[in-house]
């Protein structure tokens, strides 16, 4: 029997671990975990009153005032990664986002963002 392919093997683009100070926003706001030319994931603290539905456009930004907005996105998954012991405790979730069709400028900006906001050795041939 053949084993199921891992998530990393199914991805078309290499994921880069994000440095602290990089954030993502759809209908939630959270710290970027990783990013690729095809999408990203971020962690956020679940808050009462936040909308359940996700937006169709997102924003990513770093601590150097660089940001990208109006990014076409689709939420792939959103799940609990840490849950407190009581009803008053913090729940941390992880959200996976796939990018839609990006303009040429957005593609260039995304490559710059990956280069400037990840801890991996970046080179254009590897993204």
pLDDT tens per residue, the chain (127 residues)? 343 444 545 668 899 999 888 898 877 889 999 999 999 999 998 887 666 666 788 888 888 888 899 999 999 999 999 876 666 678 899 999 999 999 999 999 999 999 998 876 555 555 5
Q: What is the pLDDT of residue 57?
A: 84
Q: What is the pLDDT of residue 5?
A: 44
Residue that is written with structure tokens 């005032």 in the block: 65
**Domain edges within the chain:** 14-121
Q: Which superfamily, per CATH, for 14-121? A: predicted glycosyltransferase like domains (2.40.10.220)
Q: What is the pLDDT of residue 65?
A: 82
Residue 75 CA to residue 67 CA, distance in Å, equals 20
Residue that is written with structure tokens 């280069």 in the block: 115
Q: What is the pLDDT of residue 73?
A: 93
Q: What is the pLDDT of residue 3?
A: 39
For residue 102, give the nearest of 53, 43, 38 by alpha carbon.
38
Strands (E), the chain: 16-17, 23-25, 29-35, 39-45, 57-61, 67-83, 91-99
Q: What is the pLDDT of residue 47?
A: 80
């Amino acid at each position: 029997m053949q084993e199921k392919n891992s998530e990393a093997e199914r991805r078309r683009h290499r994921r880069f671990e994000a440095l602290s100070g990089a954030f993502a926003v759809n209908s939630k706001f959270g710290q970027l975990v990783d990013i690729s030319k095809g999408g990203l994931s971020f962690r956020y603290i679940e808050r009462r009153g936040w909308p359940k539905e996700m937006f169709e456009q997102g924003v990513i930004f770093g601590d150097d005032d660089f940001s990208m907005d109006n990014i076409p996105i689709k939420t792939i998954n959103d799940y609990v990664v840490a849950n407190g012991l009581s009803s008053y405790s913090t729940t941390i979730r992880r959200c996976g986002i796939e990018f839609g069709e990006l303009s040429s400028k957005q593609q260039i900006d995304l490559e710059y963002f990956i280069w400037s906001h990840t801890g991996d050795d970046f080179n254009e041939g590897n993204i």
